[in-house]
Chain A
Amino acid sequence: MFSAGLNQYLILSAVLFCIGLFGVLTQRNVIKLIMCLEIMLNSVNIALIAFSQYVTPVMLTGQIFAIFVMVVAAAEVSVGIAIVFSVYRNRESVDMENFNILKW
C-alpha cells in the first residue's frame, strides 16, 4: 500500500487522466470529446497543485502553473465549441465521422 500524502493525489490524477484519455480516444460526439479533454486538464491540475503543496510549499510554483493551465483550458474550450458550431452549421451533425472537411 502506498504511503499517504503526495502519492495518493498523483494516483488519483493518473486515474482521472486515463479515464479522460479513454474518452477522447473512443467518443464519437465532439461535445463529449471536449468534456473528456476537460477531465484530462483537471487531472493535470490536481497533480500540479499536489506537487505545489508537497514539494514547493512556499514558492507556489505548481499553483501558478495550474492557473495558466486553466487559462489555456478556457481558451481551448471556447475555440473548440466555435469550431463545433461552424461544422454543425455545414454538416448538421456533431459526429466525429463528419469532421473530415480538412481531409483531401
Chain B
Amino acid sequence: MLEIVFYLLAAIAVASAIAVIVVRDIFRAALCLILLFMTVAGIYLLLHADFLAIVQVLVYVGAISILIIVAIMLTRDAQHGQPLGRLKYPAVIVAALLLGVVVLGVVSTVFAMPDNAPLQETVKPLGKALFGDPGYLLTVEIAAVMLLSAILGAIAVIREK
C-alpha cells in the first residue's frame, strides 16, 4: 500500500520537476514548483518526518513560493520566450552522467541499517536534540545570525539609493 503511495508521489514529483523546466510560461512553472513542494511534503510523511512535513508546507509552500510569485509579478515583461541557453546538450550529458554515477553508487553500497523502529512522533525528540544539552544549540544560534544577516543583506541590496 505504502509502495503505491510512494510511487504515485515520486511520479508526480518527477513530472512536476520536469514541468518546471519545460513549461514556457513562468507563472505556470511556479505553480508546478508548488505542486512539487507539496508532493515532497507527502514523501516526508511517508518517512515518518511529521514535523518536517509541516515545516515544508509552511516554509516552502507558504513563504518561498509566495516570494517567487511576487518576483515573477514584479518582473512581468520578461516572462515568455525564454529558450534554453546554449549549454543544452552539455547540460544533458552532465546531468545524465551524474545521475548514472549516483545511482550506481547507491545500488552498489550496503548501508548499515539498525533494526530500531523509527520514531512515530518526532516533534519532542527534535526539540530536545536542537535545544537540549548535548545538542545543536550553537548551530541554532549560528543559523539565527545567518538569517538576520540575510534579511539585512536583502534590505541593503534592494534599497533605493
Residues of chain A having any CB pair with chain B under 8 Å? 2, 4-12, 14-23, 25-29, 31-32, 34-36, 38-39, 42, 45-46, 49-50, 52-60, 63-64, 66-68, 70-79, 81-86, 88, 92-96
Contact = CB atoms under 8 A, between A and B. Distances in A.
Contact of B153 (A9, A79, A92): A79
A36 B22 CA distance: 11
B96 A18 contact: yes
Contact of A73 (B43, B64, B119, B129): B64
Given A15-B99, A21-B94, 18 more contacts: A8-B6, A10-B106, A21-B98, A22-B91, A22-B94, A35-B33, A53-B49, A53-B118, A54-B113, A57-B114, A63-B126, A64-B129, A66-B52, A67-B55, A68-B139, A71-B146, A78-B151, A81-B71
A17 B101 CA distance: 13
A20 B125 CA distance: 32
A8 B10 CA distance: 9
Contacts of A86: 157-158
Interface size class of B (residues with CB under 8 A): 35 or more
11 contacts: A14-B102, A28-B82, A31-B68, A38-B33, A53-B118, A60-B119, A64-B126, A67-B52, A77-B64, A77-B68, A95-B78
Contacts, number: 219
Interface in B83-113: 83-85, 87-88, 90-92, 94-96, 98-99, 102-103, 106-107, 111-113
> B74, B94, B151: which has the most chain A beta carbons within 10 Å?
B74
Interface of B: 3, 6, 10, 13-14, 17-18, 20-21, 26, 29-30, 33, 36-37, 40, 43-44, 47-49, 51-52, 55-56, 59-60, 63-64, 67-68, 71-72, 74-75, 77-78, 82-85, 87-88, 90-92, 94-96, 98-99, 102-103, 106-107, 111-114, 116-119, 122, 125-126, 129-130, 136, 139, 143, 146-147, 150-151, 153-155, 157-158
A27 B99 contact: no
Dominant secondary structure of chain B at its interface with chain A: helix
Given A12-B13, A82-B158, A28 B95 contact: no
Given A19-B95, A77-B68, A60 B126 contact: yes
